[in-house]
């Protein structure tokens, strides 16, 4: 049985990953900031017979990540989905707001890296060793429009740091990829073109076919390479 750990699992893209993997019978560790208030997630988990469990995780807090790794010690995880993210200044230009930049970088770049480090033992116990990082087309230099600069920079930095990890861990059969989900209708992007059902369904097909030959790729939901 495939086992999946999803961050930011309570809504948006993360929630849809949980819903779709649950429908195929996977074991899901659904991590979010406030499980007690994650009503939709609780409703999915209740009839799952323990296949979906909810876990508290604040990704910007190293201690919270370490605590979850301890809580799940001994578990095998096939796919880590680093999904939790914030848009920061996406739709407006904000002159250098240091606090905002630090929050965006901590959430979108440092946290996924910390997750990979802390969950390496769990992934080694699994069969696929996939670290799937939810990036964005806006991590590509080709997509700069002069706004959302902190967000775009954070996704480019996520791509670069995870590419580094893909090189560092390649001899241990890890598959580290950065994936652009497309414009998906969520709280972050309500006017977007794609439904979560469609984007996550497409990404699941990509994930199902990943091999070590894909390690280090920056790809999109249609398995097309994205220009860095």
Ligand X SMILES: NC(=O)c1ccc[n+]([C@@H]2O[C@H](COP(=O)([O-])OP(=O)(O)OC[C@H]3O[C@@H](n4cnc5c(N)ncnc54)[C@H](OP(=O)(O)O)[C@@H]3O)[C@@H](O)[C@H]2O)c1
- A 10 A CB-CB count for 180 gives 24
Look at the block and give the residue holding tokens 């439904």. Answer: 195
Binding status of residue 54 toward ligand X by CB under 6 A: no
What stretches of the chain show up as alpha helix (H) in DSSP?
12-23, 39-45, 62-71, 98-105, 111-125, 149-168, 196-208
Question: Is 13 or 123 the residue whose CB approaches ligand X more closely?
Answer: 13
> Is residue 166 a contact point for ligand X (CB under 6 A)?
no
Considering the complex, state which of residue 86 and residue 153 has its C-beta at the smaller distance from ligand X.
Answer: 86
- Rounded Cα distance, 90 and 2, in Å: 34
State which of residues 110, 184, 203, 219 lies at the interface with ligand X (CB under 6 A): 184
Find the binder of ligand X among 3, 10, 159, 161 (CB under 6 A).
10
85 binds ligand X, rule: CB under 6 A: yes
Task: State yes or no: residue 183 binds ligand X (CB under 6 A).
Answer: yes
CB of 4 to ligand X, least distance (A): 15
- Answer for which of 59, 80, 115, 165 binds ligand X (CB under 6 A) is 59
CB of 196: closest distance to ligand X in angstroms? Answer: 8
The alpha carbons of the chain give a radius of gyration, in whole angstroms, of: 16
Q: Contact between 88 and ligand X (CB under 6 A)?
A: no
What residues from 102 to 121 belong to the interface with ligand X (CB under 6 A)?
A: 107
Residue 157 binds ligand X, judged by CB under 6 A: no
Dist CA 18 CA 23 (whole Å): 9
Nearer Cβ to ligand X (3/135): 135
User: Is there a contact between 94 and 78 (Cβ–Cβ < 8 Å)?
Assistant: no
Query: Do 103 and 88 form a contact (C-beta atoms < 8 A)?
Result: yes
| Least spacing, CB of residue 188 vs ligand X, in Å | 4
90 binds ligand X (CB under 6 A): no
Query: DSSP of 66-128, one letter per residue?
Result: HHHHHHTTT---SEEEE-----SSTTS-----HHHHHHHHIIIIIHHHHHHHHHHHHHHHSSS
Which one of 86, 206, 207, 210 is in contact with ligand X (CB under 6 A)?
A: 86
The site for ligand X (CB under 6 A) is made up of 8, 10-14, 32-33, 57-60, 83-86, 107, 134, 136, 181, 183-184, 186-189, 192
């Amino acid at each position: 049985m495939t086992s999946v750990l999803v961050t930011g699992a309570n809504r948006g893209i993360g929630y849809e990953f949980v819903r779709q993997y649950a429908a195929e019978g996977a074991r899901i560790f659904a991590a979010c900031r406030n499980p007690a208030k994650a009503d939709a997630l609780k409703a999915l988990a209740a009839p799952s017979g323990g296949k979906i469990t909810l876990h508290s995780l604040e990704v910007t807090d190293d201690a919270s990540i370490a605590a979850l790794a301890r809580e799940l010690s001994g578990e095998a995880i096939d796919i880590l989905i680093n999904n939790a993210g914030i848009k920061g200044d996406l739709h407006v230009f904000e002159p250098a707001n240091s606090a905002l930049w630090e929050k965006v970088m901590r959430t979108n770049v440092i946290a996924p890296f910390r997750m990979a480090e802390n969950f390496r033992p769990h992934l080694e116990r699994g069969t696929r060793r996939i670290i799937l990082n939810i990036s964005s087309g806006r991590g590509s230099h080709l997509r700069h429009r002069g706004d959302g600069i902190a967000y775009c920079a954070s996704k480019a930095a996520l791509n670069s740091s995870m590419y580094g990890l893909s090189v560092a861990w390649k001899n241990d059969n890890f598959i580290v990829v950065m994936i652009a989900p497309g414009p998906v209708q969520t709280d972050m992007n309500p006017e977007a073109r794609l439904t979560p059902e469609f984007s996550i369904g497409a990404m699941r097909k990509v994930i199902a076919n990943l091999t070590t030959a894909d390690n280090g790729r920056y790809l999109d939901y249609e398995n097309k390479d994205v220009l860095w």
